[in-house]
């Protein structure tokens, strides 16, 4: 059950963040306004080959959110509901860009509540209009063609540029 006062609320914002985008940063900053403590948790998924390692993704988030005092960056593997309970959190935060996002998220929200014995709620925040089109997958897709999109924080831009410089060098040599 939620704390009586949102000032006591701990929220976990899980995701792949591969890489973190300005859409993720916007959702995090908005939620940090009403959460007491917000844990941004990078999922370490052994079944997916990521563009950036978990350590890199964590460090990009730390760099981009260093000025927000109640935000903590962490990583996790395994069942999200277990991780949320272990962190002493009350709710999962998810961002919604379109109706499809809601359709995908809704069963997970119901499931997380059920398997945590009613403890883990889900909070949905709508994407800000300027970021509804932004996704990590688009960033990765265009990066594969050597394009660094404007949708990412400066630290990620630099990392993508470096990655392509190195790849281009190794292809050239």
Where does this chain bind ligand ADP (CB under 6 A)? Answer: 15-17, 21, 23-24, 27, 94-95, 97, 101, 127, 131, 134-136
Nearer to ligand ADP, 8 or 130 (CB): 130
Q: Which is nearer to ligand ADP, 115 or 173 (CB)?
A: 115
CB 144, min distance to ligand ADP, A: 17
DSSP string, 140-154: HHHHTTT---TTS-H
Nearer of residues 35 and 134 to ligand ADP, judged by Cβ = 134
Minimum distance from CB of 131 to ligand ADP (Å)?
Answer: 4
Q: Which of 37, 64, 94, 136 is catalytic?
A: 136
DSSP annotation of 125: E
Query: Which residue among 30, 87, 97, 163 is the active-site one?
Result: 97
- DSSP code, position 129: G
The DSSP H or E segment spanning 82 is helix 80-86
Q: Residue 139, CB half-sphere, CA atoms under 13 Å: how many?
A: 25
Total count of residues recorded for the chain:
173
Q: Minimum distance from CB of 96 to ligand ADP (Å)?
A: 6
Q: Is 36 a catalytic residue?
A: no
Angle at 117 between CA 112 and CA 118, to 5 degrees: 70
Task: Give catalytic status of residue 97 as yes or no.
Answer: yes
Contacts of 160 (CB under 8 A, 6+ apart): 19, 139, 143, 148, 152
Of the pair 64, 117, the CB lying nearest ligand ADP is at 64
Least Cα distance to 77 among 48, 120, 37 occurs for: 48
Nearest distance, CB of residue 57 and ligand ADP, angstroms: 9
In 44-171, which ranges are E strands? Answer: 71-76, 91-96, 121-126
113 is catalytic: no
**Active site includes 119?**
no
Residues noted as catalytic: 24, 48, 97, 136
């Amino acid at each position: 059950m939620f704390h009586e006062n949102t000032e006591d609320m701990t929220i976990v914002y899980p995701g792949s963040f591969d890489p973190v985008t300005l859409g993720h940063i916007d959702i995090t900053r908005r939620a940090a306004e009403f959460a007491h403590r917000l844990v941004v948790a990078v999922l370490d998924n052994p079944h997916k080959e990521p563009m950036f390692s978990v350590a890199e993704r964590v460090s990009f988030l730390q760099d981009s959110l260093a000025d927000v005092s109640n935000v903590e960056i962490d990583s996790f593997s395994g069942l999200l509901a277990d991780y949320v309970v272990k962190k002493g959190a009350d709710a999962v935060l998810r961002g919604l860009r379109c109706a499809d996002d809601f359709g995908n998220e809704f069963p997970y929200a119901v499931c997380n509540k059920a398997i945590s014995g009613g403890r883990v709620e889900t909070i949905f925040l709508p994407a800000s209009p300027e970021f509804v089109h932004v996704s990590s997958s688009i960033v990765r897709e265009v990066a594969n063609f050597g394009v660094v999109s404007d949708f990412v924080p400066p630290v990620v831009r630099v990392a993508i540029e470096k990655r392509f410089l190195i790849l281009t060098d190794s292809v050239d040599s």
